[in-house]
Structure 1
Amino acid sequence: MTTTPGWDGEQLDLDAYLHRIGFDGDPAPTLAALRALHRGHVTSIPFENLEIMLGRGVPLDLASVQDKLVRRRRGGYCFEHTRLFAAALERLGFGFTALTGRVSMGSENKFRPATHALLRVETADDERAWLCDVGFGAGPLEPLEFVDGATATQGGGWRYRLERLGTLDGRVPHVAWWSLFQAPAPGTADGWVDRHNFTETPSFPIDYEVGNHFVATHPRSPFSARPYVQRYAADVHHALDDLTLTTSRPDGSTDKRELSPSELPAVLADVFDIVLDASDAARLVASVEASGR
């Protein structure tokens, strides 16, 4: 098994991380453990970009990430989630390659920047490789086998499919592209949607630093202008996009509610398990109010 270097697994407070995600099994680098780690992580640690809304940076060093996501029980977006999960896998002896993807969400003809982080993982007891995507905010619950045509129905009926796209219709020759599909698309009752595309080219912590800087600071980044928060479970997906709260289910049914800025702190606590202190709660409300939403 191979692991891209530099993920600081030795610095991880492993006991605290395993407690945070509710893992109480054997942490040996097996397929069963990988499934349990993945499921625990995606259902315990929410997706959120609130530090950007609060006018602060998003550091990716492991000490900062585990302080935020583990000790302070906050959430993060894909670079933070994958940075933490990679450190845990490295510490436990899994082999993996860090990858970077381009979020598409059905926009097949729009070539977007590489701003999504995910992992190709190997275990000690199984010859197959596995796609682990803990930082998207909408599953999957467990790893998908890293093979063309792999499909999975998970939890209450969330569906995922992995496809090898050849060379992206010839536009990028000699590079094998993959796409992860999901049904239904988050927040809709639609069928399959291509969620993101990626190659097997290895990425490293410094590559995630570059993508993270774009996501956190660029005016065209979807996460630099409004709150975006998600919480995912086996039977429900909650998403806060600006002031719209959407609850989606595996059967494609959705409920939407428009919030006022003053409701945000309570909704974050009650729905997403994100508790802001009084200062940050007031700051977030003021930030959203000042934007004119």
Structure 2
Amino acid sequence: MALRVDLDEPWLADVGFGDSFLEPLRLIPEIEQEQDGQRFRIAAVRGVMIMQRQVGAHSWKSQFRFTLTPRQLCDFEARCQFQQTSPASHFTRQRICTLPTRDGRITLADLKLIRTTQDGREERMLQNEDEWRAALAEHFGVRL
């Protein structure tokens, strides 16, 4: 989920997409904005806004699309219900915990520990539930 926040100017805040920008972006199409060594921009195409991330020196990858149509919280109830209960949702098919870090992101997806940085992605399979609990405590401060 992304929110438009109006202060001195309009901003785009990512409140649920995950591996994206951490601080709000100015909601101004076609300007490049940098955060933690990554470049972002918002493209406007026929009434649809597209948040993009730079990949490589000259390429941009679309991350998500949105409009500026105001919404109510109830507009998200069906999708929220799906994410929480549907067997097709990746949130019900595995345990997942993820946090941004200074240089990227740390993710625990079932028994897979994933470190993502600008230099790449490193995956390590944990051997058992004890290692999973230890990783959950060490990286996320969650003790079960």
TM bucket, shorter chain: 0.7 to 0.9
In structure 1, what is the equivalent of residue 134 of structure 2?
266
Match of 1:154 among 27, 35, 39: 35
SS at match of 1:160: strand
Displacement of 1:183 after TM fit? 4.3
Higher relative contact order (CA 8 A, sep 6+): 1
Amino acid at match of 1:144: L
Report the counterpart of residue 73 of structure 2 in structure 1: 205
Which of 5, 10, 14 pairs up with 1:133? 14
Quick one: percent identity of the two aligned structures? 31
In 2, are the aligned partners of 1:144 and 1:151 still within 8 Å (CA)? no
Q: Distance in 2 between matches of 1:229 and 1:159?
A: 25
Does the 8 A contact of 1:134 with 1:140 survive in 2?
A: no
| Inter-CA distance 229–182: structure 2 relative to 1 (3 Å threshold) | farther
| Structure-2 separation of matches of 1:246 and 1:267 | 11
Please tell me whether the aligned partners of residues 177 and 198 of structure 1 are also in contact (alpha carbons under 8 angstroms).
yes
One-letter code aligned to 1:240? L
Superposition deviation, residue 267 in structure 1? 0.8
Report runs of 4+ in structure 1 exceeding 3 Å deviation: none
- What amino acid sits opposite 1:193 in the alignment? K
TM-score, structure 1 as length reference: 0.44
SS of match in other structure, 2:92: coil
Q: Which residues in structure 2 correspond to 1:99-178 (within 5 Å)?
A: 117-123=1-7, 126=8, 128-155=9-36, 157-166=37-46, 176-178=47-49
Stretches of structure 2 lacking an aligned partner (at least 5 in a row): none
1:236 corresponding residue in structure 2: 104
Q: Which is richer in helix? A: 1
Aligned partners of 1:182 and 1:193 also within 8 Å: yes
Q: CA deviation at 1:148?
A: 1.1
In structure 1, the residue corresponding to 2:113 is in which secondary structure? strand
List per-residue Cα deviations over 1:154-197 (Å, max 9, x = no partner): 12x1332211122xxxxxxxxx111112245xxxxxx6432111
State the partner residue of 1:256: 123
8 Å contact kept, 1:139–1:232:
no
TM-score, normalised with respect to structure 2: 0.85
Partner SS for 1:164: strand
Report the 3-state secondary structure (helix = DSSP H, G, I; strand = E; otherwise coil) of the residue aligned with 2:93. Answer: coil
Alpha-carbon displacement from aligned partner over 1:188-217 (angstroms, at most 9, x marks no partner): xxx643211111122211122222101111
Unmatched segments (≥5 aa) in structure 1: 1-116, 167-175, 185-190, 277-293
More strand by share: 2
CA RMSD across the alignment: 1.9
Change (3 A) 1:183 1:228: farther
